[in-house]
Structure 1
Amino acid sequence: MNKTIMLKWLQEGSISIPTALLTHYKTLKLTEQELVLLLHINSFLEKGNEFPTPTELASYMTMDARQCHEMLSQLIKRGFISIMDGNNENGIRFEQYSLEPLWNKLIDLYLFINKQEKAKEAEKAETDLYSCFEIEFGRPLSPFEIETLGMWMDDDQHNPTIIKAALREAVISGKINFRYIDRILFEWKKSGIQTIQQAKNHGKKFRQNQQSTIGKGAESSVDSTVKSVPFYNWLDQ
């Protein structure tokens, strides 16, 4: 007997809903009762009942058929449910609920939240970038320098991480000025450099070439006893 009951329970199946609906239903301005009603409609749809009556829905909720009907009307008016017309294989016209408006609202909300998060990340990266420059320069940036940083990001579309890499390159070369950094960014963009690793590899390769050139020059000079420390002189490019 118990096994039969358990088998019946398993055969009733389960419903699958996006976790985002449970997480953001409050943001969508849905009440707990409205959420449960939508879940019941989804359950009926999955079981093949595409147009459950208010009485059928109310039998699973703590409200009567009249309250259920009013809530359904409000959800339709607010664009969470739609009623679609169709014809079956016998040509008989029928109506059915659709939760597509609900899923569209949820997708729009998810995309909006994702956009906001990216905007916050970009704002944080920009703030960190200004701080990095002020630390390396040892002073607050001038209005012109702040404007230049903004132009690198907005007009030239340089990623803040790439700008930081160019700043580090300028520090290594002992030429911490905006003209020098601008030249580095120009050369990197021309060379198609878009990642930190590409920037590191490019700088390393150039220094190796510089080291080789300086080494040959030192060998050809009898009076040369000390080799200069090579640096990436972007302004000479």
Structure 2
Amino acid sequence: MDGRGWNTWGEGAAFGLQHGMAVIPYALLKYYRKLNLSGDEAMLLIHLLSFRQVEGIEFPSLEDLQTVTGRSISVIAGELQKLMKEGFISIDGTNDELRDFHYEQYNFTGLFNKLGAVLAEAAQEAAEGRTAGANHSGHASTRIAASPAATVSVEAESRNLFSIFEKEFGRPLSPMECETISGWVDQDRYPEELILLALKESVFAGKVHFRYIDRILLEWSRNRVKNAQDVKNYNQKFRNGGR
């Protein structure tokens, strides 16, 4: 295939992408763990939504789902049962009287209701955090002074980590980056104060990326650094050559 042929192929692929995209709620990507969903279960919901939107299939078969997930039918069936039992999805039966035909379709009302509740909870927590910060004027906040946008406070525990990181990075976070932050909090159990201090360190070092921040947190964890005073002592010890 010559250069023109590859260009034509690329244009065709681009056309297909434009006309074959599914709209996935960002809240599902961001909060699925808060809903006690595994990554596979969240991906199964995404596939169900995609089948409806892109292919017009309201009730994909287990074989259809096996093809796109690469997992066994028994595993998929178990996950569907869990999603229905916990109210994320339900099955509606509909009769087409004109064609004398009965068909079934997945109903996502439960999923959307749960996502709405999570979004409301997050908004309430953010509002309460701002109120607490405004009423806590008797204490000075520690802020990054490396740039005009570097205004991270490491004091208020209820700060929205996602919005703080987005402000420092100067762009929206990707789902993978949000997942990384959630992992620091939920799995590694790093205090929010420590995460913000690691972000501060990365800004001062001019290395504002997640891998560098993760290395800082891991190093601190290995050295039992748990708060701002520990960070100060650790940095002092490091500057003195470990003495």
TM normalised by structure 2 equals 0.48
Query: Larger Rg: 1 or 2?
Result: 1
More helix by share: 1
TM normalised by structure 1 equals 0.50
